Structure 1
């Protein structure tokens, strides 16, 4: 393998790893796919070191090493991107894709999201379902649906305008909780406290917490602690928003 070819393939592999980390893949999967893609494209071995906001990749061919570093900027969780990168790796291993095709495919990888008119009612329905499971009456479920719908709308509005994620969670929690308190202002439900709890469940950072635990269990302690800390900050931001809303509403 010529030096230029090794450089090009190394860039392809590190770009793939960078996208995987940016869109929420766990560290073990990033290492596995990077090694598989590199070997499928002709590298003898691929070594990867992942930290909280950067990765270092070294490729080896005929005793010649190339090391490159990339910064990781989180773009939110998007499993469509992760699945597309897995598909590229599998087709490369089967010999269907070569280096040029992998380059074109990586350049065209873009996150796909569902429209707000689909996301908002589905998320609100899930929160209302939790309200029902927790023992809330019918009106509590209706109020939970309304509060979660408005809260999710606010969350998407702020995300579209690139607000800091912590501020986004705090404001979303505040607005959602203020609307959920209508169950106390107007006696339409006998279980208004369940509405308060269920309407903000959409803010639980479940996926980051799962990834954090998975990384720590599989030996990626630093990355796992970083993800755990990020998820904890999101939870704290939500708690701050809820607390302010409850203080203003006199719930305490």
Structure 2
């Protein structure tokens, strides 16, 4: 294998690993896909080291090593992209894709997001459903729907302007909790406290916490602890926003 070919393959493998990490794949999956894709494209071996915000990948062919480093910038959870990268790896292993096809497919990958006009009411409906499961009456479910829907609008607006994610969660929790307290302040429901709990469930960082535990169990302690810390900070930011809103109204759960 020529040096230029090894360089090209290494760039594509590290790009795939970079995208997997950026869009929420756990570290074990990143290692597996990188090694399988590199092997399918002709590399003798692929060694990868993952940290909280970067990765280092080394490829080996006929005793010649190439090492490259990439910085990881999180783009949010997107399992569609993770699945597409796995599909590219599988088709490469079957011999359907070569280096050119892999490069072309990876370059075409773009995150697809739902429109706000669909996302906002669905978030409101899901939180209202939780309120119903908790035993809330119709008024409580209605309050939860509006509180979480408005909160999601605020969250999307802040994200669109690229503010810090911790600030985003704190402000969203604050506004959502303020609206959720209307049932308690104006005696609109027989279960007025349930909207306070149900409307902020959209802010629970469940996926990062699951990934953190998965990484730590599988031996990637540094990445797992980093992800756990990030999820904890998001939770703390939400708690700060909720507490501030409750202090303003003078009501506590």
Spell out the pairing of 1:162-241 with structure 2 (5 A cutoff): 162-241=162-241
Q: Distance in 2 between matches of 1:115 and 1:35?
A: 36
TM-score (norm 1): 0.99
Match of 2:2 in 1: 2
Alignment of 1:76 with 2:76, yes or no, is yes
Q: Which runs of 5+ in 2 are unaligned?
A: none
Report how far residue 192 of structure 1 moved.
1.0
Q: Distance in 2 between matches of 1:108 and 1:204?
A: 32
Q: Distance in 1 between matches of 2:184 and 2:33?
A: 52
Alignment of 1:111 with 2:124, yes or no, is no
Match of 2:46, SS state, is: strand
Match of 1:33 in 2: 33
Report how far residue 220 of structure 1 moved.
0.5
Q: Which runs of 5+ in 1 are unaligned?
A: none
CA RMSD in angstroms comes to 0.7
Spell out the pairing of 1:38-57 with structure 2 (5 A cutoff): 38-57=38-57
Match of 2:176, SS state, is: helix
Report how far residue 197 of structure 1 moved.
0.5
Consecutive aligned runs of 4 or more in structure 1 exceeding 6 Å deviation: none
Deviates more, 1:236-245 or 1:182-191: 182-191
TM-score (norm 2): 0.98
Match of 1:192, SS state, is: coil
Q: 1:78-98 CA distances to partner (integer Å, 9 max, x unpaired)?
A: 111111111111111111111
Report how far residue 133 of structure 1 moved.
1.0
